[in-house]
Structure 1
Amino acid sequence: MTQRLTLDEALARAGREIERADYDRADATLRAILAAAPGLPQALALMGRISLIEGRNDMAAGLRRLAGLGLAPAHILDIGAYEGWWAGLARSIFPQAHILMIEAQESKGAILEAEAARLGNAHLRVALLGPESGRPVRLHIPDTPYGSTGTSLYPERSDFARRTEERVQTRLDDLVKGEPPYDLIKLDVQGAERDVLEGGPNTLATAKAVIVEVSMLAYNQGAPLMAEIVRYLDERGFQMLDFVDPRRGKGGILYQADAIFLSRASALVPDRVW
């Protein structure tokens, strides 16, 4: 029996397990398939189906749903890489992709270089992105129990102590000039997502999918809220498709999440629901 037939049979078995609501067994079957055939779209689509049925709405589920729609990025941009956890997750879903991690914090360089080496076919550039290359800006770095997560051009509205660094911005288009198109762009830069995109119109124009951290409430002083980000990307040909990793504050109030957008110029936007 050929490997292709073996995979077909395993996929069929996983489908039957899902129909029987035996999701744990189906998950194990699909993980075995992905170990043998990393990034197999049919397996990722079935894993996305399990996530929907069980109400999972994390980043991994969102990336699997993108793969199930046919996204197979050759090049991925991880903007706001921090310590590389998202790049590792993206590698598990899209094993063949080249990943460029971009991080503003120079102190994260050694950690990210090690993660790039571990992942393979991944690289790091330390740069503070913005709408204009050479512009001096002030970077706000909070001191939290979780480290320096939350670093941004826009001060976080929290009681944590913070320090500032004087830095110089670089446009995204200048940083990646001459490189192949990036099919998937992820941005998690604490309210500065639009600033980054304004410096990368050419990079954005060739993307098939964009993942952006959005805020419903004013989490960072002066940063645009979700409605502005959705409108900005809509005007540039991107349709919001999904919503993952919702974060809730006191009283269960939703204040942040990651929004997934698809280019209307791509073939990825579904033309029907069922």
Structure 2
Amino acid sequence: MTLGNVDEFLRFFSHCEALGFQPALVVDVGVGEGTPGLMSRFPKAHFLLVEPLEEYYPTVSKLAREYDATFLNCALGSTERLGEISIGAPLETSSTSGARSPHKETRPVEIRRLDDLKKWEVESRPIFGRISVQGAEQDVLNGGRHFLEHADLIVIECSCFRFRGERQPILHEMIEHMNGAGYSVLSMFNLQYRPYDMAMASVDVAFARRKGSLMAGKK
């Protein structure tokens, strides 16, 4: 559940910093092994780290001790419930999207709503979100409508094909969803390709609030 190319991600954030963007709160959904350089880049920010897999617990717990961070060992979705996570190989492909494969292990997992984690309207801004949940992106956002009203910049790993079944949102649907929530595409990076035909398989998309400072002067 980590971003594909850390260097591209950090270069993007260097650009945002040059525009004056310094988040007060970072919400990282699907932390995995963490994103090297992200937490040290914003030492004054508070981090909310969401990761359901027990295999990553030692790593994320260590990050939470080293930085101003809160660790939540759960998944996120549109409703609060006891759900199921399909364990992938490699581990970062694990997902609560509902798609199953006969060779994959499944586990019960606590699923919470993003809007139940914080009172977003009273949080310090700017707020940055990173979502890497392997096909469950729209489900996470449907449980975070208030979060979307108050966040400033959100990076989402978007798929270009429905690798996880018909319920999986793909790139143009995520762009439409975020457009309806008041966001525009600021940048795209970390393109991944299908090996057998080199079709673009996934990309990390940075969505900025349309009326925010990062979109100032852009039409």
- TM (normalized to structure 1)? 0.70
Structure 1 residues 130-158: Cα deviation after superposition (integer angstroms, max 9, x where no partner)? 0011x2322100133xxx1111023679x
Higher CA-based Rg = 1
Q: Secondary structure at the match of 1:112?
A: helix
Q: Structure 1 residue 190 and structure 2 residue 140: aligned?
A: no
Contact 1:181 1:203 in 2 (8 A): no
Residue aligning to 1:108: 56
Q: Structure 1 residue 163 and structure 2 residue 105: aligned?
A: yes
Q: Structure 1 residue 124 and structure 2 residue 71: aligned?
A: yes
Give 5+ residue unaligned stretches, structure 1.
Answer: 1-55
Q: Structure 2 vs 1, CA of residues 181 and 152 (structure 1 numbering), >3 Å: closer, same or farther?
A: farther
Which one has more relative contact order, counting CA pairs under 8 Å at least 6 apart? 2
Residue aligning to 1:71: 21
Residue aligning to 1:173: 115
Contact 2:32 2:51 in 1 (8 A): yes
Q: 1:204 aligns with which of 144, 148, 151?
A: 148
Deviation of 1:200 after TM superposition, in Å, equals: 1.0
Deviation of 1:207 after TM superposition, in Å, equals: 0.6
Contact 2:74 2:109 in 1 (8 A): no
Q: 1:240 aligns with which of 167, 185, 190?
A: 185
Cα RMSD, aligned residues only = 2.3
CA distance in 1, matches of 2:110, 2:40: 34
Q: Secondary structure at the match of 1:149?
A: helix
Q: Percent identity over the alignment?
A: 25
CA distance in 2, matches of 1:143, 1:243: 26
Q: Secondary structure at the match of 1:96?
A: coil
Structure 1 residues 199-236: Cα deviation after superposition (integer angstroms, max 9, x where no partner)? 11111211110100001112322311011110001001
Matched residue type, 1:59: F
Q: Structure 2 vs 1, CA of residues 130 and 237 (structure 1 numbering), >3 Å: closer, same or farther?
A: same
Residue aligning to 2:94: 151
Q: 2:202 aligns with which of 253, 256, 260?
A: 256
CA distance in 1, matches of 2:131, 2:146: 16
- TM (normalized to structure 2)? 0.87
Matched residue type, 1:180: E
Give the number of equivalent residue pairs.
210
Q: Structure 1 residue 225 and structure 2 residue 170: aligned?
A: yes
Structure richer in strand, relative to its length: 2
Structure 1 residues 88-124: Cα deviation after superposition (integer angstroms, max 9, x where no partner)? 4222332321111111213322221112223x21221
Matched residue type, 1:62: F
Q: Structure 2 vs 1, CA of residues 201 and 181 (structure 1 numbering), >3 Å: closer, same or farther?
A: farther
CA distance in 2, matches of 1:212, 1:113: 23
